[in-house]
């Protein structure tokens, strides 16, 4: 599926959750509506280490998603080798957020772990849906 960007509210939501979860990490899956990432499916029980978050993602049943999001406790959003492995299996768009979880503290990667552009779009949204 062609992804046009991420809704600004959704990105804010991701950054806020990452901030409130820190120093624990959170992970989720991204789903799209009309080609725009508007929804985060937060995976339960992922507020531990990066490694645990990744294992949990691998174990998820088939949820229709375009990619993943997870937070790093430190200031670096470079994907680990486990992250890259995960990216290759869970879709085309992967966001990593890092401390201090402000508007600049994130990066989007493709399924090979290469940096890719992701537009932040102003769209009207309902309340974020937490599944």
Query: Interface residues with Zn ion (CB under 5 A)?
Result: 50, 80, 83
Q: Which residue is nearest to Zn ion (CB)?
A: 83
Q: Omega into 33 within 30° of 0, i.e. cis?
A: no
Q: How far is the CB of 72 from Zn ion (least distance, A)?
A: 5
Nearest distance from residue 53's CB to Zn ion, in Å?
A: 7
Q: 81-89 and 50-59 are packed helices; what angle lies between their axes, rounded to 10 degrees?
A: 20
Nearest approach, Cβ of residue 83 and Zn ion (Å): 4
Tell me if 72 sits within 8 A of 83, measured CB to CB. no
Cross-strand bridge partners of residue 6: 37, 120
- Of the residues 25, 33, 47, 124, which is catalytic? 25
Task: Please state, in angstroms and rounded to a whole number, the distance separating the CA atoms of residues 102 and 44.
Answer: 24
| Residue (13 or 26) nearer to Zn ion, CB | 26
C-beta closer to Zn ion: residue 7 or 57 = 57
Residue 25 bears catalytic tag: yes
Contact 3, 35 (CB under 8 A): yes
Nearer to Zn ion among residue 6 and residue 96 (C-beta): 96
Residues with catalytic roles: 25
């Amino acid at each position: 599926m062609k992804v046009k960007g991420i809704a600004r509210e959704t990105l804010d939501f991701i950054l806020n959750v990452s901030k409130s979860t820190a120093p624990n990490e959170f992970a989720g899956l991204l789903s799209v509506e009309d080609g725009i990432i508007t929804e985060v499916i937060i995976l339960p029980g992922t507020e531990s280490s990066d490694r645990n978050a990744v294992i949990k993602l691998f174990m998820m049943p088939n949820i229709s998603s375009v990619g993943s999001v997870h937070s790093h406790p430190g200031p670096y959003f470079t994907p680990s080798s486990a992250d890259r492995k995960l990216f290759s299996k869970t879709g085309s768009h992967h966001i990593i957020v890092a401390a201090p979880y402000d508007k600049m503290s994130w990066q989007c990667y493709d399924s090979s772990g290469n940096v890719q552009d992701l537009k932040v779009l102003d769209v009207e949204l309902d309340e974020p849906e937490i599944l």
